[in-house]
Structure 1
Amino acid sequence: MMQAKIVVGALLVFLTMMFSSSPNAAVELSPEMNSQMIDTALQKAKSSKVASEKIVTLPKGELVLARTVVVPAGVTLRGASLSAMPVLKIWQNESIPIVRMGSDTKLENVVLDGQKGKYVNQRHNGIEIVGTSASQRVRNVQIVNSQVRNFGGNGIYMKYTDRVRIAGTTQAQMMVSNIGYAGIIGYSANNTIIQKVTVRDIGVTGQLLAYNIALTEVYNSKLATSVQAKVNPRSDGALITDSYILNNAVWEGIDTHHGRNLVIQNNTIVNVKNAIAVVSITLAGDVGTVNPPQNVMIRNNRINKQSDYVKLRLAKSEKFKTVRGIVVSGAKLKKSRDAVYATGIQVLNNQIENVQAVSIYGGGILMQSTFGAAVSGNRVQLEPSGRTNYNGIALTVNNKRTAVIGNYIGKIVAMPTEVIAFRGAQNNGEWNNAKWSKVSGYGMVLSKNYRDVTLFTDGKLNMGKAKLVTRIADPNSVVVRNTNKYTFKK
């Protein structure tokens, strides 16, 4: 007979249990005993009125559990340090999360292991943070310096949340990896911070969807628009910054459908099929899209930079081919002439390399159904080590009053190539789409963009052979060209 211990604040909770003489006491306890031990400690912390006693510290070692660990409101669950992290696993049950968190909680220095190779099972999640409804959210949750790995569903699953922070002291110390569907996903998740996190090895070959990070909503086409906005509102407010988004051959790296007030900045994205997607909600039955994103800034991100392959020890391969760099799309039903625009969009100072698009609608930066967007200061395919196909910047359909200013584009390959191009119709200055005739709107602004730019070895721009881009290429038919209009300014 020996005693296992968990620290609650400055106190010890002792449970007398049978186990072997292993130096890690928790290793040999039964799943039920481990769950009882943690539940007892968490309830003691919950009932305490002393702040220091609301911290539960788990011992180093492997803890196999019989059920989900529920962290009650106001309590911190942690390992002693980064070098003494407990490893939590669930015993033979892939339909429940390992940890469920309430409001005002914190998880720190803990490893959660789903124990499976990649497959898709949406109920097999690492951490769940789920409110009752949009009016009863789980608030003020922190997940810090932890590892979440080997789950068939989602690493971290949020729904009806407000002010969740997922962060590492370094990117290596907060990692979500080997996940079947989404590394971090939020439905109706407000004011989310994802900072210095590595999300890697996402998706299952043969599946259609997988996300490193996604902020979206549960959309029900049977609900009226006003009811949908109340019951399942958009995700509103997020900062996704300084993170590593790696190895997703299936679908999208950083994604929002219908998100609002997002900043996506300073992220390193390598080996992801579609690196950044800021888009609307796609309806079933191929009838179009609804609910565009609003007020999204995408700045200072690095996509497939050669130095990042080296730094992160990643290899280029056909499996992990990127086909679109940054995609922004508003909404349009196929039966409607007019779009519902993505507004408040800024795509600034990103570096995008090695985008091997498979059609003329792919390339470095793709814009569709936007109004008043700014695309400025971006660098597309300046390195000699990769290749970008078809387009540096593509304006597909229904873009209004876009400012394309001060971008630097290198060599684009795969015919028909264009550095900046219209790849569709109705790109002009009018709020609604004109009929198929020449439009009068003042359209877009094209200014101070350069092609054939390269880099010096120190990373600075080499403008020796650069040429000013004086036109937006329009390889469409005459009737389509007549609905596109822009102004060139030196």
Structure 2
Amino acid sequence: MNSPTGRSSSTASPPEKGPTLGTYNLDENPVVGAPGLIVWASRAAHAVNDLDTRVVSTDDVTAAMAAAEAAQAAAEAAAAQAAVVGNTNDTIMTAVGANSASSFAKQLAAMYVRVVSPVAYGAAADDTADDTSAVQSAISAAATFGLSVDLRGLTYKTTDQLNLPAGAVLMNGTIHCTGTAKKIVSITASNVRVTNVTIIGRHSVATAASNEYGIFVGGASAGAPISNITVDHCTIALVGMYGIYHQYVNNFSVERNHIRDLGYAGYAGLSVSNGEIVGNYIHDILAGFSANGYGITLTRTSSDSLTTDPRSTDVIISRNRIVNIPWEGIDTHGGRNITVANNDVFGCLVGIAMVGAVSAGGINIAPLNVNVIGNTVDSKVSNGTIGHAISIAGAPGADNSASAESATGQVIGNTIIGCGLESSSVSGAVRLRDTSGFLVSGNLIIEPSPHGIIIANTNFGVTVIGNTIVDHWSSSVSIASAVYIQSTYNDGIISANLHRNAGKKAAATYKNERGLNVGTATNNAFQAVGNLFSSATIPYNGTATVVSNRPGVQTFYQGTVSAPGLAFGSDGATGFYPIGTSDFGLAMAGVRKLRFLATSMTVEDGYNIAFGGTSGTKLGLGATHKLGLWGATPVVQPAAIANSTDSSDAATKLNSLLAALRSVGIIAP
């Protein structure tokens, strides 16, 4: 079929049966091709104009038709100039854009155009000419019509940021920004998607440079966030600071992106909520600022209050691959309801860090309800030069007796390989500090150094259950332990954990040294039940308290005179508690009554010993049992002394009796 210009066209045609609006039948003189679409849209524009403004005069109708004819002429000129029948969308948008008088024609033409290309707005798309203005013009035009911007697989050089308005969609091509300190793509409105776009910064290798963002997404404030933001299937590289940056954003998705060679963070979310960060590959990030660098971090602006800059909350981080991060692979500072599940974290100084943060006024906050589940954390080194695989830390208090705010959550079913700084006595695979009710369960920890699981300080109600630790080792720390109670003020349960000696670290100076190691710290109270640490050199060690671990037996307790570790009474102040390194006491109502030492027992003042009045109580059950009173050296029962028969031997027998009394200490020597 031929168009009115006489050119054959294979482009889209108007509907076979057009509607009737007002007095205008849109089927009259049907047309095809790009110019034809404009004619059809222009007719519809007149009809809509007639209905909306109730135009009844001939002059008004004539003016409207003149506008339609101008649109037709513009469309034909654009089509002839482009000489590309297949580029229908660009041709239409160029033609409609040229006829600003026909606003209704623009709107209705947009009904038949799905995408806008920057090429239609003068972009060279050769990665040489500056296409900033053309790309921004395409974005603005697309926003007017509610269309997507299709980069058509081409590369556009820009020198300044591109601003995506509400409802924008940017897709299918490359933006190469050569400007300094730029937000290459900036989003400050809701309902925006960036998909299948490659964003390249100005650097040729990974470089740290302030205020450079691949994609910047920012709401006005925590009280006025933007929402429904999606970034998917994009590549972001060679940007000086952030790959993707979100602040004050709600309901977002960051999915299946490749983010690499950046100066500071692959993804950073500040005061964000209700999001998913799923299936991304993030690698080779520099520690470009304050020696820090992150694969993924969820945090907040620490200099402001929790009201103006709240915690990041309700975010799922799942099935990501994080590789070669010189600081922390996945991190939250004071986040709440953060789930980190089924990620691969390889070659990061610290694999996963769920830690506290400082707010304005020095208010410390802890991560709350953080769930670290089913991840694989592999140091990718065998020399013990990498830090913790998983670090959990709440907000510390003035001292170890209480936290400012305790971290809560769980670490379950993770596989950890070769993590821990072997030269540090406080390093290892999993470390807990300032927590409450935390669960560490079902983790497989292979070749940690020097410790498998560290319970540092101020962990209350911690449960360590069903974990397997294989071949813990160190070349520097002689107390390398499967489970290490490092410091003070900890309590909880350690149960059903297993240590295995697989013989893989035979060359290490210290290998599989200790199973359960209590250390010398005080104010700890644990129940250890059913653990199997027999393959360690010292299965159970603790100088602060007696340690013995058999299946089903509670094994060690600590506490104070007012809060015994093994309490009997409902008041919590009656029971046994440690006093020194080799003795313990019996307290009643918070007052010590007995003290048991290595070689003696002390009955405290005012605490009397009563004997039964029926059958009585024996001291020494045989003549060879030794007794000594008032510090006398214990002796066997003195020999019998016969009764005196006359006055001549009375003095001799009396002296023998006195000697016997002195020997047991009844009278002074």
Return the TM-score normalized by structure 1.
0.78
The residue that corresponds to 1:293 in the other structure is 367
**Partners in 2 of 1:140 and 1:148 — Cα distance?**
20
- When residues 143 and 454 of structure 1 are mapped into structure 2, their CA distance, relative to the original with a 3 A threshold, is farther
The residue that corresponds to 2:316 in the other structure is 239
- What is the aligned counterpart of 2:151 among 36, 58, 69? 58
**Partners in 2 of 1:104 and 1:196 — Cα distance?**
21
CA contact (8 A) 1:272 1:321 kept: no
CA contact (8 A) 1:303 1:351 kept: yes
Is the aligned partner of 1:97 residue 2:167?
no
**Partners in 2 of 1:96 and 1:453 — Cα distance?**
54
**Deviation (angstroms), 1:207:** 5.2
SS of residue matched to 1:232: coil
- What is the aligned counterpart of 1:184 among 267, 276, 298? 267
**Partners in 1 of 2:118 and 2:524 — Cα distance?**
74
Identity of aligned residues (%): 23
The residue that corresponds to 1:355 in the other structure is 419
SS of residue matched to 1:248: coil
Q: Higher strand proportion, which one?
A: 1
SS of residue matched to 1:37: helix
The residue that corresponds to 2:166 in the other structure is 73
**Partners in 1 of 2:237 and 2:118 — Cα distance?**
30
**Deviation (angstroms), 1:232:** 0.7
**Deviation (angstroms), 1:206:** 9.2
CA contact (8 A) 1:149 1:178 kept: yes
- What is the aligned counterpart of 2:140 among 43, 48, 73? 43
SS of residue matched to 1:39: helix
The residue that corresponds to 1:412 in the other structure is 472
**Partners in 1 of 2:140 and 2:182 — Cα distance?**
20
**Partners in 2 of 1:14 and 1:98 — Cα distance?**
16
**Deviation (angstroms), 1:205:** 7.4
**Deviation (angstroms), 1:41:** 2.1
- Matches of residues 315-394 of structure 1 in structure 2 within 5 Å? 316=381, 321-334=385-398, 337-357=401-421, 358-381=423-446, 387-394=447-454
CA contact (8 A) 1:17 1:29 kept: no
SS of residue matched to 2:223: coil
| Residue deviations 1:178-207 (CA, integer Å, cap 9, x gap) | 011111001101112110001100114795
CA contact (8 A) 2:116 2:149 kept: no
- Matches of residues 206-285 of structure 1 in structure 2 within 5 Å? 208-220=291-303, 228-249=305-326, 251-282=327-358
CA contact (8 A) 1:113 1:126 kept: yes
The residue that corresponds to 1:115 in the other structure is 202
The residue that corresponds to 1:485 in the other structure is 525
Bigger mean CA deviation after superposition, 338-347 or 349-358: 338-347
| Residue deviations 1:217-270 (CA, integer Å, cap 9, x gap) | 0012xx6xxxx1210111011100001010012x11100000000110000011
Amino acid at match of 1:30: A
**Partners in 2 of 1:30 and 1:89 — Cα distance?**
11
- When residues 344 and 30 of structure 1 are mapped into structure 2, their CA distance, relative to the original with a 3 A threshold, is same
- What is the aligned counterpart of 2:233 among 120, 127, 145? 145
Name which one, 1 or 2, has greater alpha-carbon Rg.
2
**Partners in 1 of 2:377 and 2:518 — Cα distance?**
27
SS of residue matched to 1:38: helix
SS of residue matched to 2:460: coil
**Deviation (angstroms), 1:120:** 2.2
**Partners in 2 of 1:395 and 1:14 — Cα distance?**
58
- When residues 289 and 394 of structure 1 are mapped into structure 2, their CA distance, relative to the original with a 3 A threshold, is farther
**Deviation (angstroms), 1:417:** 0.5
Instruction: Give the unaligned 5+ runs of structure 2.
Output: 1-77, 94-112, 505-511, 531-669
| Residue deviations 1:423-469 (CA, integer Å, cap 9, x gap) | 111102xxxxxxxxxxxxxxx1111100016599xxxxxxxxxx9x9
**Partners in 2 of 1:276 and 1:18 — Cα distance?**
47
CA contact (8 A) 2:401 2:458 kept: no
**Deviation (angstroms), 1:43:** 1.8
Paired residues, what number?
A: 412
CA contact (8 A) 2:117 2:149 kept: no
- When residues 334 and 88 of structure 1 are mapped into structure 2, their CA distance, relative to the original with a 3 A threshold, is same
| Residue deviations 1:2-59 (CA, integer Å, cap 9, x gap) | 869786853555767889xxxxx5116631xx222222222222222xxxx5222112
SS of residue matched to 1:40: helix
Q: Higher helix proportion, which one?
A: 2
- When residues 28 and 445 of structure 1 are mapped into structure 2, their CA distance, relative to the original with a 3 A threshold, is closer
- What is the aligned counterpart of 2:462 among 364, 379, 402? 402
- When residues 114 and 372 of structure 1 are mapped into structure 2, their CA distance, relative to the original with a 3 A threshold, is same
CA contact (8 A) 1:376 1:406 kept: yes
CA contact (8 A) 2:239 2:262 kept: yes
Is the aligned partner of 1:473 residue 2:549?
no
- When residues 451 and 288 of structure 1 are mapped into structure 2, their CA distance, relative to the original with a 3 A threshold, is farther
**Partners in 2 of 1:38 and 1:343 — Cα distance?**
47
CA contact (8 A) 1:288 1:334 kept: no
Is the aligned partner of 1:160 residue 2:254?
no
SS of residue matched to 2:457: coil
**Deviation (angstroms), 1:96:** 1.2
SS of residue matched to 2:366: coil
- When residues 367 and 28 of structure 1 are mapped into structure 2, their CA distance, relative to the original with a 3 A threshold, is closer
SS of residue matched to 1:43: helix
**Partners in 1 of 2:118 and 2:308 — Cα distance?**
45
- When residues 67 and 421 of structure 1 are mapped into structure 2, their CA distance, relative to the original with a 3 A threshold, is same
Amino acid at match of 1:88: I
Is the aligned partner of 1:196 residue 2:279?
yes
**Partners in 2 of 1:61 and 1:13 — Cα distance?**
10
**Partners in 1 of 2:528 and 2:215 — Cα distance?**
51
SS of residue matched to 1:94: coil
The residue that corresponds to 1:10 in the other structure is 114
CA contact (8 A) 2:212 2:241 kept: yes
CA contact (8 A) 1:176 1:183 kept: yes
- When residues 317 and 337 of structure 1 are mapped into structure 2, their CA distance, relative to the original with a 3 A threshold, is closer
